[in-house]
Structure 1
Amino acid sequence: MKIKKILIPIGGRANYSSIKSLLYKLKDSENFNLKILLFASAILDRYGNVKEEIQNDGFNIDKEIDCIIEGETPLTMAKTTGLALIELSTALNELKPDYVFTIGDRYETMATAIAASYMNIPLIHTMGGEVSGTIDERIRHAVTKLSDLHFPASEDAKNRILKLGENKLNVFNVGCPRIDTVKAVLEKDPKINRSQLLLRCTTQEARSTPSTDDFIDFSKPFLLVSQHPVTTEFGENEHHINQTLEAIEECDTPAVILWPNSDAGSDEVSRGMRKWRERTKFTKMHFFKDLDNSLYIKLMAATGCLVGNSSSGIREGAFIGTPVVNIGTRQNNRERGANVIDVDPKKSLIVEAIKKQLNTGRYPRNSIYGDGSASDKIIKILKKI
């Protein structure tokens, strides 16, 4: 049997967390030659040192390419996609993979899909067929039409891919690989390393860190906040994050707050966070540039409520049973469990929803996005192609 060379481009921390469980399976299988390409925000330190995390997890990085154009505006995001397409085409010509495996719905996913398609390299896509807010849904469906093999994360997503006209023999509902990682982390050790988290705290722009006594006691209720820019609402994102931060202060609950991703509007969210920290005397908020995936999962399992607009509240949150307050339009219409309360980006509504979720507590596990076996299913199918 021919060993299949599979290239997986990773464009950021979210990409890596979405595919990490499958990378282990591919690496350990004698049927595949795994190649990893790192690009986009994955190689920028200000969005987290993903490279170091990947290497610490035991993977080799075969290629790195620079393609991010600074600015975090719709213009620079479009230009970054174009530059990524140029650089990825060169990398694909050099690495000559048998298959390219791409993830989700981001601009780097679009560049990957176009490059592979024009170069006649079969494209494998995971987490297609879903609906959501912003431009992500359009990209996701466009990538679906460019892909040859589909691994959607739910039955609803599978049916939507089929309605787009894809061959039913090439569409497999396997669940979300991110759930595999959640299951593995929580079964191994769900305990939060408080000292490790304290060291990574970037309170006051990393100029100072809180003392051990002032830091969060994770045995008591705390909030986890992950709010990214909404690309189709460029110009409004600073106001949105201000509403969230004001709501958290009113709730008077300690909070772990994560920096936004690199989408258009990222600077707006970051600016809102910086201004807030400069003018507020509220000391219960602790800001982090990035957290490794396993630590984030443990925080999701322990938090009284996840606040923001991250898809992790929809996917991992359903499986873990995390109470979630989902703010704004970024996750519009995405399939979700009972653990999610949707609100507009308005302080009073956010406060009301947070208090309700803190009083409700954990939700029953919902396997809407899989049971933690997605990677095993994907490997089994890939061996047959």
Structure 2
Amino acid sequence: MKIVTVVGARPQFIKAAAVSRKIREYCEEILIHTGQHYDSNMSELFFQELHIPSPDYNLGVGSGTHGKQTAEMLQGIEEILMKEKPDYLMVYGDTNSTIAGALAASKLLIPVIHVEAGLRSFNMAMPEEQNRILTDHISKYLFCSTDTAVENLHREGITEGVYNIGDVMCDAVMYYSRLIDEKSREQYFADLKYIFGERGAVERWYLSTVHRAENTDDVSKIKTILSSYEKLDAPVILPAHPRTRKMIQQVNDELQLKNTICVEPIGYLEMLYFTKNAVKVVTDSGGLQKEAYILGTPCVTLREQTEWVETLNGNHNILAHINEADILDKILNTRVSDQKENYYGNGDAAEKLCSIIFSEGNHE
């Protein structure tokens, strides 16, 4: 059996690290990197530190409009699929790489495996929501992280090939988090590549990421978020996506940021360390919300809705409107429950996934 896996963004590299390690015990895997995240700190570093096999193909698509980016991925993936003739194509999550891979395979009648299926924010203005729904409706195997995701699919009439296996991101967090205490706090801070706001190691910090278009395409929103950070009681470490960096530079002259430590994108192990030890995480990232929950760090999400609805229970994650008063109130005044449910499994999702694919696939 041969499986082609398509990845293109940092969260997908992490999920692939957990799943590919198991898949390759059973069959041949061909890895396609679309190049959607093309910065070396956002791509090659992850492959190196997570010991992910080097991609067999790198399309080098880079940035662009949704249509241009997706079209280039479709063309490149289709050519590879026609050459490799896999039994299945596997995609993760909800990026343009996800929908491009799923569409290319579906047109060639290659069964699609969607890992992290069934997520819904119920906001069709989000490109990610469009990608999720379309991918789910053309997939043969839909591997869900939670019961909520399964219910979402059932409401849309998708009942065949649906499995709740737990979350492969949980596999990765549990597997790699044991490595993060090998360096001291001082070493972690020394390794940061500062854009501005450089300082020595601090004992308390908030960790933030801001990268979604709904926030980064609006200068006033970035300004509101950063002005809020300047009023917090501990520094904010902000690894900046290239798009975010440009927007921050536009407002920095006016705000003269002092409490915000803006740094280049950091590796996954470093991200785990700063997440696990933060006072709180403040983000618009879906993946980081979930990682914070798994690691037991409270989170404030800078969005109107979240696909990870379970994290909202007990205020372990809480949504904030993009205005300074609400952001500060949610960060500083939210009371978090001492009780936390295990929604995402025990770190064996990849093993369950492989068991299903290879037991059922061998009988088809």
TM-score surpassing 0.5? yes
1:84 equivalent among 64, 69, 73: 73
SS across alignment from 1:141: helix
Partner of residue 248, structure 1: 229
Are residues 1:11 and 2:8 paired?
A: yes
- Identical counterparts, % of pairs: 19
SS across alignment from 1:322: coil
In the alignment of these two chains, the number of paired residues is: 353
| Structure 2: distance between partners of 1:106 and 1:8 | 14
**Structure 1 residue 302, shift from structure 2 partner:** 0.6
2:174 equivalent among 180, 183, 203: 183
Partner of residue 200, structure 2: 215
**1:225-244 paired onto structure 2 within 5 Å:** 225-231=208-214, 235-236=217-218, 238-244=219-225
Residues 1:362 and 1:16: Cα distance change in structure 2 (over 3 Å): farther
| Structure 2: distance between partners of 1:318 and 1:34 | 31
> Are 2:17 and 2:52, in contact at CA under 8 Å, matched by a contact in 1?
no
**Structure 1 residue 196, shift from structure 2 partner:** 4.2
Are residues 1:106 and 2:95 paired?
A: yes
Partner of residue 157, structure 1: 149
Are residues 1:33 and 2:14 paired?
A: no
SS across alignment from 1:146: coil
**AA matched with 2:250:** K
**Structure 1 residue 125, shift from structure 2 partner:** 0.2
Partner of residue 46, structure 2: 53
SS across alignment from 1:383: helix
SS across alignment from 2:131: helix
| Structure 2: distance between partners of 1:271 and 1:226 | 14
| Structure 2: distance between partners of 1:65 and 1:20 | 19
> Are 1:6 and 1:100, in contact at CA under 8 Å, matched by a contact in 2?
yes
> Are 1:321 and 1:362, in contact at CA under 8 Å, matched by a contact in 2?
no
| Structure 2: distance between partners of 1:19 and 1:363 | 32
Partner of residue 324, structure 2: 347
Partner of residue 356, structure 2: 381
TM-score (norm 1): 0.84
Are residues 1:65 and 2:78 paired?
A: no
**1:300-319 paired onto structure 2 within 5 Å:** 300-319=275-294
Partner of residue 287, structure 1: 262
Partner of residue 200, structure 1: 192
**Structure 1 residue 324, shift from structure 2 partner:** 0.9
Are residues 1:147 and 2:139 paired?
A: yes
SS across alignment from 1:142: helix
Deviations 1:4-25 (A, max 9, x none): 2111111111211233211211
Deviations 1:221-255 (A, max 9, x none): 21000112235x7853x222211111110114211
TM-score (norm 2): 0.88
Residues 1:366 and 1:258: Cα distance change in structure 2 (over 3 Å): farther
**AA matched with 2:325:** S
Residues 1:234 and 1:198: Cα distance change in structure 2 (over 3 Å): closer
| Structure 1: distance between partners of 2:119 and 2:307 | 11
Residues 1:166 and 1:136: Cα distance change in structure 2 (over 3 Å): same
SS across alignment from 1:271: helix
Give the aligned CA root-mean-square deviation in angstroms: 2.4
**1:117-132 paired onto structure 2 within 5 Å:** 117-132=106-121
**Structure 1 residue 348, shift from structure 2 partner:** 1.1
SS across alignment from 1:355: helix
SS across alignment from 2:117: coil
> Are 1:322 and 1:363, in contact at CA under 8 Å, matched by a contact in 2?
no
Partner of residue 73, structure 1: none
| Structure 2: distance between partners of 1:184 and 1:332 | 24
> Are 1:67 and 1:87, in contact at CA under 8 Å, matched by a contact in 2?
no
> Are 2:235 and 2:259, in contact at CA under 8 Å, matched by a contact in 1?
yes
